Amino acid sequence: MRFNVSARTPQRRRRSVVGAVVAAAATVAIVGCASGHNRPGSGDGQIIVHLTNDLAPPSDVTVYAVTQDGIRRLLGDVPPNKDRALKVPTDVPRGATFRLVAERTAITRAVVSQPITATSGGLFIDWDLQTNAIWYPEPSN
């Protein structure tokens, strides 16, 4: 004679509940992690400079952030007729005023931006070297 015994013993039910709780916690952690990252310059404190090197005559440039006290921080190099996203180092104090400086390799006169104030919420800056124009685009959602 055979008896049908439920495969759901108390121990197996406990494992099932624990498994469901672990799966739910993992889902919450993944969703929280994915939504916790901000775009650069959108409140995470990072300052990003999108630089368009459209100088005439074409020239490589080396870009620095220079604070009022004269400390230069290297951002990077941008080849002629290219654009790059450069990060301002996080050691630029929030609230400090700095200028962007693009030094040409073959020409002694640098392109110097208007003063910029570092904010705690981060910034996204577009800088066009040909016109030496800076603007702060609104972050898109």
Binning pLDDT at 50, 70 and 90, where does residue 39 land? very low
CATH placement of domain 47-135: 2.60.40
- pTM equals 0.66
The one-letter amino acid at 71: I
Q: Which residue has the higher pLDDT, 101 or 108?
A: 101
CA distance 129 to 59: 11
Domain boundaries, given as residue ranges, for the chain: 7-37, 47-135
CA distance 91 to 94: 9
Least confident segment among 61-70, 105-114, 132-141? 132-141
The yes-or-no verdict on residue 88 having pLDDT over 60 is yes
Model pLDDT for residues 54-82, shown as the tens digit of each residue: 998 899 999 999 999 999 999 999 999 99
- C-alpha distances in Å from residue 72, one per residue of 43, 54, 69, 85: 24, 23, 9, 18
Q: What is the pLDDT of residue 47?
A: 93
